[in-house]
Structure 1
Amino acid sequence: MRVVTGDVRTYSIEGMDCSSCALTIENHLKGQDAVKSVKVNFSTGRMTIEHDNSVEDILKEVSKTGYKAELVTSRRPGEAKRDRSGMNALVLSGVLLFIGFIGSYSEVTAALSPILYALAIVVSGYKPAKSAFFAVKSRSLDMNVLMTAAVIGAAAIGEWLEGATVVWLFALGNVLQSRSIEKTRNSIRSLIDLAPPEAWVKQGQELLRKPVEEVSAHDVIVVKPGDRIPLDGEVISGESSVNQAPITGESLPVDKQAGDVVYAGTINEHGSLEVKVTKLVQDTTISKIIHLVEEAQEQKAPTEAFVDKFARVYTPIVFLFALVVMVIPPLVGFGTWSGWFYKGLELLVVACPCALVISTPVAIVSAIGNAARNGVLIKGGAFLEIAGKVSAIAFDKTGTLTEGKPKVAHIIPYGTTEVELLSIAKTLEEYSTHPIAKAVVDYANGKGVQAKEAGSYKNIVGKGVSAMIDSQEYFAGNLKLFLDLNTNLEGANERISSLQQEGHTIVIIGTRLQLIGILAVADTVRHTSVKALSSLRSVGVNQVVLLTGDNEGTAKKVAAETGVNRYFAELLPEDKVSVVQQLQGEGHVVAMAGDGINDAPALATANLGIAMGGAGTDTAMETADIVLMADNLEKLPHTVKLSRKAMRIIKQNIWFSLIVKAAALILIFPEVLTLWIAVISDTGAALIVILNSMRLLRVRS
């Protein structure tokens, strides 16, 4: 089987348990003429490669380095077949080691023990030795090189039991680490398995069961009660409640009827639904989530990048130090060759920075996987780190803290009729996308009011709109707009002030010279916002700030209802940027939460941009640093708590790894440390770090 020249493919790699393993594979494949580019990521166990030879050739080359590759052919991989060869080799070498150890106590069988130890070394050490050969060839000092050198050295000085024990413990550590790391790498498998592989497609009066890959856009599928919805679509018939928690993290089912959007992977609670498919299987919301999570898990966080740099310096330094220890002291007559050679071997083992290198990526992969399962997309380790340091969160008001569906509460005409006022207001506002403009138009439509003929529409940023109606320029907007126009508002100021103090948003309608009327609009605070803001303070976010373009009275009312620390009212888009910068100037790490579109400048200025309602907005999913898939803030406290716990665990891992290494280095020279204890300290520390990181998979919201 040949692939197209320059085709980019993704492969999963089995057996990698440190980033130096990934570097070995990368360097080996870069030496192949048919390979144009290659990137191997240890965190996800994935390799992205552009090559123009066959898939079989790539699989063969990867196997040469001691690892197993498999082509990723779809978003729905089957359960990976577990490679038993490593476990079989571990068991066989363990039996040989045990028999040799028991036999060493008998004079009859003592001579056979070294042979059994040598066989144990060959059985358990073949695979790491093979990987070590290719690591050296590709100029990489990985753990396989160091461990193989230590075992060969132990055998060379006649320490057969020590060498066999070292290689067996190393193999045991590898098996345990690989199993544990695979669990974190599969942290999004539950997402992959959410959407069913087949759908009931309606063709005429018949229902045909088809693989989702064969379902086309605009096909009609039937979703029975209790079934998972297989593809994104629009309900055309039926009513039901749909559990969207797998995608959005929402705790309560959402009622669905004709015209509503449904997502693949969500659960139809009751009632049959007919759904018109709007997205193919590869374009569904859940497919995008999986793709973005995989990308996020492959991005290195600043801490991870620093640790990698440290490890690249640490390993060769300790390796060279080991060679110096082996040669210099006995050369100058200080101690024996065998004694210093043994200490050098111990240093080779201690030179493996496995636990340190693993400390960050496994924690990040676990945290991002946990967040995704709870309806939160964290776009990379860097953003996870920032979220763990956030001390202030600024919220846009409309649609974020409030429902974003304001309604007209009062209509006050001046010198005209209510119908005429509504007709002019509808004419001015019907082309605006602002929620308040939509509320005015919806109210006018509900009253059966018709719009007038108009032209020359203009949007006045942060203030309102204007248009020419019957050769006269009319305006609709906030008080600031009409103060700028110097319109005579005498007689209305007191009423405007009173309505604003009651928390209404005021829409004034008039010309440059004359006030025609006032519409008072009110928005309601989301009950989830109040709960979320309270939870944010409990997880340590000190400053919760409200930003709004509305008047002081509205801002004050919403602030009182939500319990924010501070509020800023009557802000233009550029003013929101200034407030974010002010908070940063006060020493805060600032997150900005908004809809990802209207608040783009402030989201970009903040240390962390958080968009909500991502399940229905492709733009938000692509542009924000963190995306809350539900259209509310319910999962934001969980995100902050998870990020902070991730940062604590990363610090614990790093300090634990460094302390274990320092202790091992110190204990070498008083001859307290043995070669096999050095191996246990290395593989044991790595395993403890992995298990500690895996606690992030179980953090609940």
Structure 2
Amino acid sequence: MSDAATLDQTDQAQTRLRVTGMDCAACATKVENAVRRLPGIEGIQVSVATETLTVRHGPSIDARAIAETVRGLGYGAEEPDVSTSTDTSTAELPWWRSPKALLAFACGTALVLAYALGHVAPTTERWAFLAAMMVGLVPIVRRAVSAARYGTPFSIEMLMSVAAIGATLIGATEEAATVVFLFLVGEVLEGVAAGRARASIRGLTGLVPDTALLERDGATEQVPASALRVGASVLVRPGDRVPADGVVLDGESAVDEAPVTGESVPRRKGPGEAVFAGTVNGDGALRIRVTAAARDNTIARVVRLVEEAQEAKAPTERLIDRVSKVYTPAVVGVAFLVAVLPPLVVGAAWAEWIYKGLAILLIGCPCALVISTPAAIAAGLSAGARRGLLIKGGAVLERLAAVTIVAFDKTGTLTEGKPVVTDISGFGRSERDVLSLSAALEGGSSHPLAKAVLAKAAEAGAPVPPAFGTKALGGKGLTGKVGGLDVFLGSPRAAAERVAFTAEQEVQVSALNSDGKTVAVLVVNGALAGLLAMRDEPRSDAKAGIDRLAAQGVGAVVLTGDNARTAQAVAGALGIEARAELLPEDKQRIVRELQAGGAVVAKVGDGINDAPALAAADVGIAMGGGTDVALETADAAVLHGRVADVARMVELSRRTLANIRANIAIALGLKAVFLVTTVAGLTGLWPAILADTGATVLVTANALRLLRMPAG
């Protein structure tokens, strides 16, 4: 997406700006309210997490007017034509050089000077503190007026301005100046906390190296990693970061995937295996064929999905947004009543109760409450993304916590998606001979079963002699000559047409079939020589993942189109139920039946035939290696294909909801305590601003704890 305003086919323009200085949802609301008042605005998306503003508008509005409106609120905004990139990872100034920090420093310095001057010349004390207050208050008032002009009259800046000016009018000038300074310090702390949250996901983009060693015409040349095209061959030296998603063409090495997946142990990679951009090559050189352009690699997809997800509000966040619209005016009303009723009704001192009313204004600032949910949601989404758990928005993150049963696809989800040789038996020949002769016939075939035989031969170090006159017999098997021997490899039924099985051999074949395995029989010179059994085996972590779900009180079931025998064998090994021989509509129907029975269903799959069930489920989860259709239909994705990651996703959701509840308790609890103590005359303006600022910082810091989610 370009920052420049561009016209699409419907004469609608789109402007994307980088907006700096937004620290919480209240800031985003001010920006949204202001821009929405401009003529011709069709749609607005504001993301605090990515510091972006995306506006769809008619061609009549000048895109620069949008930037000027944002600047009028006191935020920074890049001109629409400054950049032609969607990258918002521009280096930020250190927090202590930010405009808010410089303003707080100036106000603090003026406050110290005012205290000093007050001691030296007491008669000037009031004016010194008034001057110190104005250093910080003037910019605040300016922002308050702008916000009110653009549709947000009850902003935090407006409440702060009223409280400071009111305190000055009743003679509490020193306190007013100190409160202004504390408010500015609070804004700086909010900015630091928000910056940390943004850096957690923005740091992902820095994992991909700037350059790559491209192989071309027998030589290597250094090129920008962003220029790599699909199909290009690159060399990754030991210790280098992988510059793109790809498949290993040549070489073998231990690859550290911790920066992307959180895995603590490097994984051995060899020819044919996938590698991810941003991972670190270990002890051997790798030649890699690029499978995804820079904008579509693993890191880019993670960042893009998280950015989109953070713009989708969770139900709790939407509820708090609605409450806050009533909450702030209500606080103003309560503060007014506290200020005027006691003096009018019982003749209490006006200065005392106006002071209390002003303190309540500060206590009632909604920042901590408004940020309580989005801060936790953003941190939760970022924590998941860094571990390959892509969740498309806060609503999905909340729903995951309620899941009671997970419906898994089998092939490519609970299993690796490719058969492996599990059993080898020789009849009058060694297992090594059986494997060699079978592999000789399968050489050159791309069939999954052939690949399984060849992979097993390579693993066992069995020689693969050349085969001559190899011929495929449709639906039956292969024939050919190997070393002067007539060799046939095929199904038990086809082999039975060529040679008689003993009763013991028939029992063995039947037992293997009952285990859900595909059996291939080897016949050499008209005699039964051996057999191979193959099956798509469960992923190495499948049982641990299912057990981890069970420990959380979440059940599991297998929904598959495969035959019942194979499905039962896999499900039995995992200790769960299987429903087999299902069409796509059958999977969807079963999901609906589970929901009708009161279950909250998560559906996990990786294929086109899973798309209807993924869409019907309460939460659809795509396995990362799956089809684009599955990824687009799903609400979430397990990027690295680990069954245990489904359980981790549920755990993350529950931790996030617990964090949100704690944040709301902190925000409202502190306000309730200081509201009572203020009315009772125990606390004043200073504790009031500390209650608001302190609650905001505590809420943000608590949310950031989610970023430390354990990898295991």
Aligned to 1:109: 121
Residue 89 (str. 1) matches residue 130 (str. 2): no
Query: SS of the residue aligned with 1:186?
Result: helix
Query: SS of the residue aligned with 2:599?
Result: coil
RMSD of equivalent CA atoms: 3.9
Aligned to 1:696: 706
Aligned to 2:494: none
Pairwise CA distance, 1:109: 1.8
User: Which of residues 34, 38, 47 in structure 2 aligns to 1:41?
Assistant: 47
Distance 1:240 1:227 in 2: 12
User: Contact conserved, 2:605 with 2:630, CA < 8 A, in 1?
Assistant: no
User: Which of residues 191, 209, 213 in structure 1 aligns to 2:204?
Assistant: 191
Partner AA of 1:88 in structure 2? L
Residue 173 (str. 1) matches residue 177 (str. 2): no
Aligned to 1:17: 23
Q: Which moved more, 1:39-48 or 1:358-367?
A: 39-48
Aligned to 1:658: 668
User: Which of residues 577, 599, 609 in structure 1 aligns to 2:588?
Assistant: 577
Aligned to 1:98: 112
Pairwise CA distance, 1:670: 1.9
User: Contact conserved, 1:596 with 1:623, CA < 8 A, in 2?
Assistant: no
Partner AA of 1:657 in structure 2? A
Pairwise CA distance, 1:672: 2.2
Partner AA of 1:543 in structure 2? G
Query: SS of the residue aligned with 1:187?
Result: helix
Aligned to 2:213: 200
Distance 1:17 1:524 in 2: 49
Aligned to 1:268: 281
Alignment of 1:34-433 (within 5 A): 37-50=43-56, 58-70=66-78, 73-75=85-87, 77-82=89-94, 83-101=97-115, 103-104=117-118, 106=119, 109-140=121-152, 141-250=154-263, 252-258=265-271, 260-332=273-345, 334-406=347-419
User: Contact conserved, 1:250 with 1:630, CA < 8 A, in 2?
Assistant: no
Pairwise CA distance, 1:254: 4.6
Distance 1:404 1:206 in 2: 36
Task: Tell me the alpha carbon deviations over residues 29-50 of structure 1, each in whole angstroms, 9 at most, x when there is no partner.
Answer: 3344586654323344321134
Aligned to 1:595: 606
Question: Closer, same or farther in 2 for the Cα pair 1:505/1:272, shift >3 Å?
Answer: closer
Residue 531 (str. 1) matches residue 537 (str. 2): no
User: Which of residues 678, 689, 692 in structure 2 aligns to 1:679?
Assistant: 689
Distance 2:106 2:241 in 1: 46
Task: Tell me the alpha carbon deviations over residues 636-663 of structure 1, each in whole angstroms, 9 at most, x when there is no partner.
Answer: 3322222111110101111222222222
Question: Closer, same or farther in 2 for the Cα pair 1:245/1:598, shift >3 Å?
Answer: farther
Aligned to 1:416: none
Q: Which moved more, 1:295-304 or 1:13-22?
A: 13-22
Question: Closer, same or farther in 2 for the Cα pair 1:7/1:192, shift >3 Å?
Answer: farther
Q: What is the number of residues matched between the two proteins? A: 637
Partner AA of 1:113 in structure 2? E
Task: Tell me the alpha carbon deviations over residues 22-78 of structure 1, each in whole angstroms, 9 at most, x when there is no partner.
Answer: 222223333445866543233443211347777766544322211122467343734
Pairwise CA distance, 1:318: 1.7
Pairwise CA distance, 1:195: 0.8
Question: Closer, same or farther in 2 for the Cα pair 1:332/1:267, shift >3 Å?
Answer: same
User: Contact conserved, 2:230 with 2:292, CA < 8 A, in 1?
Assistant: yes
User: Contact conserved, 1:235 with 1:275, CA < 8 A, in 2?
Assistant: yes
User: Contact conserved, 1:75 with 1:192, CA < 8 A, in 2?
Assistant: no
Aligned to 1:635: 645
Distance 2:668 2:215 in 1: 62
Question: Closer, same or farther in 2 for the Cα pair 1:267/1:166, shift >3 Å?
Answer: same
Q: Which moved more, 1:540-549 or 1:551-560?
A: 551-560
Distance 2:473 2:455 in 1: 16
Query: SS of the residue aligned with 2:215?
Result: strand
Distance 1:240 1:620 in 2: 31
Distance 2:180 2:397 in 1: 37
Query: SS of the residue aligned with 2:608?
Result: coil
Distance 2:203 2:148 in 1: 38
User: Contact conserved, 1:93 with 1:121, CA < 8 A, in 2?
Assistant: yes
Query: SS of the residue aligned with 1:598?
Result: helix
Pairwise CA distance, 1:678: 1.1
Distance 2:291 2:510 in 1: 48
User: Contact conserved, 1:500 with 1:552, CA < 8 A, in 2?
Assistant: no
Aligned to 2:495: none
Distance 1:266 1:617 in 2: 23
Distance 2:368 2:297 in 1: 38
User: Contact conserved, 1:398 with 1:404, CA < 8 A, in 2?
Assistant: yes
Question: Closer, same or farther in 2 for the Cα pair 1:87/1:622, shift >3 Å?
Answer: same
Question: Closer, same or farther in 2 for the Cα pair 1:535/1:679, shift >3 Å?
Answer: same
User: Contact conserved, 1:17 with 1:178, CA < 8 A, in 2?
Assistant: yes
Query: SS of the residue aligned with 1:47?
Result: strand
Q: Which moved more, 1:252-261 or 1:638-647?
A: 252-261
User: Contact conserved, 1:197 with 1:212, CA < 8 A, in 2?
Assistant: yes
Pairwise CA distance, 1:569: 4.4
Partner AA of 1:562 in structure 2? L
Partner AA of 2:167 in structure 1? A
User: Contact conserved, 1:500 with 1:551, CA < 8 A, in 2?
Assistant: no
Task: Tell me the alpha carbon deviations over residues 171-195 of structure 1, each in whole angstroms, 9 at most, x when there is no partner.
Answer: 1111111101111122212211111
Distance 1:579 1:32 in 2: 49
Unaligned runs of 5+ in 1: 412-421, 455-476, 478-490, 509-517
Pairwise CA distance, 1:601: 2.6
Distance 2:532 2:217 in 1: 51
User: Contact conserved, 1:76 with 1:192, CA < 8 A, in 2?
Assistant: no
Aligned to 1:609: 620
User: Contact conserved, 1:64 with 1:130, CA < 8 A, in 2?
Assistant: no
User: Contact conserved, 2:114 with 2:132, CA < 8 A, in 1?
Assistant: no
Q: TM-score, normalised by structure 1?
A: 0.80
Pairwise CA distance, 1:674: 0.7
Distance 1:604 1:353 in 2: 37
Distance 1:500 1:202 in 2: 47
Pairwise CA distance, 1:215: 4.0
Question: Closer, same or farther in 2 for the Cα pair 1:238/1:54, shift >3 Å?
Answer: farther
Pairwise CA distance, 1:220: 3.6
User: Contact conserved, 1:499 with 1:520, CA < 8 A, in 2?
Assistant: no
Question: Closer, same or farther in 2 for the Cα pair 1:369/1:113, shift >3 Å?
Answer: same
Q: Which moved more, 1:580-589 or 1:48-57?
A: 48-57
Alignment of 1:466-481 (within 5 A): none
Unaligned runs of 5+ in 2: 425-437, 457-463, 476-490, 492-502, 521-530
Distance 1:245 1:442 in 2: 28
User: Contact conserved, 2:24 with 2:194, CA < 8 A, in 1?
Assistant: no
User: Contact conserved, 1:43 with 1:361, CA < 8 A, in 2?
Assistant: no
Partner AA of 1:622 in structure 2? E
Aligned to 1:559: 571
